[in-house]
Structures are given as C-alpha cells and as structure tokens.
Structure 1
Amino acid sequence: MKHAETVTFGGSGLDRAAQLRGDIAKTEEDPVARSLVIWRGKPLLTSEGGGLARVPLDHAIMADAGALRIFLGLDDAGPLFAVSLDNWDPELGDDDLGAFLDPSLQHHPSMPPDVCFAELRAVMTQLSPRDAELAATAKSVLSWHDSHRFCSTCGQPSVAADAGWRRVCPVCGTQHFPRTDPVVIMLITHGDDVLVGRSPGWPDGMYSLLAGFLEPGETMEAAVRREVFEEAGITVGAVGYLASQPWAFPSSLMLGCYGVATNTEITLDPVELEDARWVSRADMARAASGEHPDIKPARAGAIAHFLLENWLANTLD
C-alpha cells in the first residue's frame, strides 16, 4: 500500500540511537537535552491542540517526575527523553477524566497557562509525524514499566536498565524487554460492501472495522479469518496486508489487513459485539461525511479511519 506510512503514528524516521542506551550519563549531561513529560498517559502540549512540549532536564516541572527517564533518541536539536509526572497529584473535579475520549486539560503550576496535558487520542491528528512517533513511544514504554515492575520469573522487583529499554531482575538475573501486542484489524469486503461492528459500551453511532489480538503460534492471515468468523460468523477467503500502526493504548501494533468474505449472513457473538452490519460504499461515504443517520464517521487518526478512507478513494493499491 503506497500510503501505508502516512497513517497516524506511522513514523518519522526518528534516530532512536540505541547505541547510546547502555551508557546514557553523558547524553543526559548534554546542555541541549530535553524531555517530554507525561502525566497519567497524557502528553504535555505547548498549547491546546499544539505540539509536544520539550523541557530542559533541569526544568522545575521535573521535580515532580518519577525516577525513571526514558531515552527516546536524537532529533535535530539533540537528545530527547521522556518522564512520567508520578509525584504530581492535583485536585481534580472533572468527570471527563479517564473517559473513552477525555477532553479535559490539566495545567502544571510551573508551566505557562496555555501549556497543558491532553489525552493523546484527542490530539493525535494535530501532531506532526515526529511528535506523534515520540508521543506513542513515550506513552507505550512508560506504560510498560508501570505494569512490569516485578520479575515474571521469580516475582521480585526488577530495575530499569538501558535508559528505560530493559528491566533486569537483581535476584534471578532475568531480563525483560518492552512488549508490543500485535492486533489484526480487518477491512472485510463482499462486492461493494464492507463489514463493520461495534462493541458494547461504545458511544452511540460508533462503528469500526473488526479487530482482535494475534494468538501465539498463529499467522496474521489465520488471525484475520478466525476473528471475523468468531465475532460475526463470516468466513474469509483471500487475506492480505495493507498497513500497520503503533497504537499506544496501551501498547499494541495494529496490523491493517484486507479480506474477501465468502458469505454474508452475520451470526453475532454478543459477548464481543453489540452489532455488526454490512455497509455499502455509498452509505459508508455518507457516514464519512457525517450524513448517515445511524453511523458516525470513523475516528480520525485510528487505522480503521485510514483504511476506510483509502477504500472509499480506491487508493488501497
């Protein structure tokens, strides 16, 4: 697919400089080194809807950061790190905090008034490719550290190493590395129709392409066929790959695929899906423009939106 890497979080050619991770002290002392700041998974933005804020390593906000500092790599201005603001606990009264799409903003007292923390889903389409890659990387790796503090072999606390890209158990010596969970997401078509579904609890009118986790010992193609049959009772013949997207919620790699259905009768798995339906190209175009009575446009920035947009434009190639 010619447009594959234009998907949100599709990459920017960041120099991750992995060779520096083993001895990061000199890099941290570089006077131009800066850090991204994350609070409860929300990146700090230069202004509402703006780019990622980059702060010096001695900035006042860093006093509220946890001990862990992730080395993200080098950009044109120098070394970049990421920290989580673990020690900041502001008073919160916003019911939207933690919602499916959290529109709330939080301001740290050390920053200018228009510099706030924002939900990544809400701002992902406004970020440059570089900022999107940095935000996804920082959020994913910091989330991994939060959920993997103990050794899975012996249960003892592990410690961070290699500038945040490895954890080591000091008791049994087991090494642990950041994980990425592969997920297949499928553009399933039959003639000029596409299969979409919605999960229980989604906002009204929200439909998307079917998706599911790859299982151990399973090929991508087999996962596509299994997931579609399990969730909707549709059998799939030909399967192919289109594009991928790192999805830092918390740490998945979405593998965008296409598949050709060999039947159309839907048998719904009510545990997985609240509804599934075939939608014609004409109706999907209406949904994309906000004119469909039952289906809202796919969320911009998600790979489902990207695949549907290219399907409608006949640019999947």
Structure 2
Amino acid sequence: MNHPHLLLTAGTHDRLGVHRKDEAWLAERWDDDRSRVLVVSGTLVRPVEGTLPWVAPGEAPDGLRVLLGERDGTTHWAVITGPEVAASQEGEWYPLRGLLPGLAGDGVVDAPLVFHALGLAEWHWATRHCPRCGGALAATAAGHELRCTQCGRTQFPRTDPAVIMLVATGEPGSDDERCLLGRSPQWPAGRFSTLAGFCEPGETLEDAVRREVAEEAGITVGEVTYFGNQPWPLPQSLMLGFLGRALTTDIHIDEDEIEDARWLTRAEMREQAAAGTLVLPGGVSISRSLIEHWYGGPLPGSW
C-alpha cells in the first residue's frame, strides 16, 4: 500500500548547494521574473484561498533571501521577514502545522520546499547568538549558515533525529495480533498515536526505540526494523519510523509523557475508530502510515 507520509517528499527539489556562495549567480536568479518566492513572516505563512502564494521576486518584501533550490526548471526562494509583516497585513497566517492539510492535497508537490523554508525560518528565529562566545550572527550561504561576527564560528541548521514506532505482539497477521498505542495527557479525549521520542547522544536508532518504549510504557522490545522517514520541522525533527516486536505485554506507563497506553487488535481498532472513540493521527503523518501499514488498509477518522 502507498504510505501517505511519503507523499510529502514526492516533489523533492535540487537544493543547488554549490551555488549558495556564488553571489553573481544568486543575483542573476533573483532578478529572473520566472523565479518564485515564498514569504515567511517569522515562522508563519499566509495561504491565499487554500494555496500557498509563490510570488515573483519583485513582489516579495525586504528580508533574508533564502535559496531553496530548483524544481521543474524554476528557482524557488523564501524571504524571511520579521513577525511585523504578518501583524500588518490582512488574512490569517499559519505555522507549518496549520498548513499540513493543504500540503496533503493538491499542494503536496510543494511540501519539500515548504519544509525547507520553514525549517530554516525556525532555525533563524531561534538562533540569535553564537553558542561559543555570545556574539552576533550574520547569515551567509544564501541563508544556510550563520557566522559569528566576533569569533568566526559557523553555525549550521539543526535536524534532531526522533524515532517513532509501532510495536506489536502476537503472531504477525493473525486476528490476535495487537499493536501498542498511547496518548499524551495534553491531547483531547480519545486521541491515540504511536509512541515516539528523540534519539540521545551515542545511541543507535534501534536502541532509542527500545528505550523510549520501555520508559513510556514499560514494554520490552526485541526485534526492530526500519519502516521509513519523514521530515518534520516542528520545529526541527526528522521522524524515523520503525516496527518493533514486543517481548513483554504488561503496560506500566510513566504518567509523565504518557497518560494511557493500550493494546488493540485490528478488529478493536476498526470498531473504535469507526465509532469515534479512538481518534488516530492525520493522514499525512508517518504515525498514520505506521498504523495503517500494520492494520493492512485505510482506517476511518483522524485528528
């Protein structure tokens, strides 16, 4: 079956990294009216009639010019401005999470470009001073590097690896096979998802899966296999999906990150999802793909 989260990487672009420090080339492409620009105010974007407004360079406001790359012969940029642009203009401006429904529809081809743009915007917004000396930072390499004006140290955009996993027990494919889902105490009633967590220094991804499941649900996991990955700049993660086989089944939740966790058969999952008592993640998330991959097909309802 097709995995919906993979659709968000279907329109990948040539990032043109070799040109990021070529000022003459950058100026030539910026002056080309065929180039297209996404305006980002702080970390927000304003859709127009449900679609993202890619404008010509001459229509973009002043701000940090970020080269995203080329797709289908067109050079794409982002201009990152301060939050005052959103505050001064009419219309609703959204963070990335608010744009995801549109990116899952006709705008799916723009998803890699938008993830690129907003990931960099979030990095620029959060990275204000040199971590070595506290000096001011200046953007270089078409927005992809920050160089300290005092000590000269260069900062690069961060991507934090996070594991997300569907853990199952029982004979694979049997009616009695069950998968483990959990819920955060901050979520509305009925909302459940796969477990997830960040990889720690010096830790393999497989061991991160085992540690997170043990910490959050008290379940011991044995075999771990890779499923797929999804960029998730909320604010700066790469979600790495895995399938795990449980060696134990007694649940002991941590009562901090997890409020509840439960084992579900396919029949229980289908029945509860249809009734609305089990609310599963949205269709563009890797969590939804993991769940429907294990279930064997589409399921009703979503966040």
2:139 corresponds to 1:160: yes
Higher helix content, 1 or 2: 2
Q: Which residue of 1 aligns with 2:205?
A: 220
Q: Which residue of 1 aligns with 2:68?
A: 72
Q: Which residue of 2 aligns with 1:136?
A: 115
CA distance in 2, matches of 1:245, 1:257: 12
Task: Give aligned-pair identity as a percent.
Answer: 38
Partner secondary structure for residue 104 of structure 2? helix
Q: Which residue of 1 aligns with 2:233?
A: 248
Q: AA paired with 1:39?
A: S
TM-score scaled by length of structure 1: 0.83
TM-score scaled by length of structure 2: 0.87
Q: AA paired with 1:31?
A: D
Stretches of structure 2 that go unaligned for 5 or more consecutive residues are 171-176, 299-303
CA distance in 1, matches of 2:33, 2:19: 16
Kept in 1, the 8 Å contact 2:216–2:257? The answer is yes
CA distance in 2, matches of 1:5, 1:244: 12
Q: AA paired with 1:251?
A: Q
CA RMSD of aligned residues (A): 2.2
CA distance in 2, matches of 1:292, 1:233: 29
Q: Which residue of 1 aligns with 2:214?
A: 229
2:283 corresponds to 1:281: no
Distance 1:143 1:249, change over 3 A: same
Q: AA paired with 1:35?
A: V
1:281, CA displacement in angstroms? 1.1
CA distance in 2, matches of 1:127, 1:201: 31
Partner secondary structure for residue 75 of structure 2? strand
1:183, CA displacement in angstroms? 0.3
Q: Which residue of 2 aligns with 1:206?
A: 191
How many residue pairs get aligned? The number is 285
CA distance in 2, matches of 1:89, 1:163: 23
Kept in 2, the 8 Å contact 1:166–1:176? The answer is yes
Kindly provide the CA deviation profile for residues 115-150 of structure 1, in whole angstroms up to 9, marking residues without a partner as x.
Answer: 864422343322544211111111111100111121
Q: Which residue of 1 aligns with 2:54?
A: 54
1:46, CA displacement in angstroms? 3.9
CA distance in 2, matches of 1:121, 1:42: 13
Stretches of structure 1 that go unaligned for 5 or more consecutive residues are 92-107, 110-114
1:11, CA displacement in angstroms? 4.0
Partner secondary structure for residue 279 of structure 1? strand
Q: Which residue of 1 aligns with 2:87?
A: 90
1:7, CA displacement in angstroms? 2.1
Which range moved further: 278-287 or 217-226?
A: 278-287
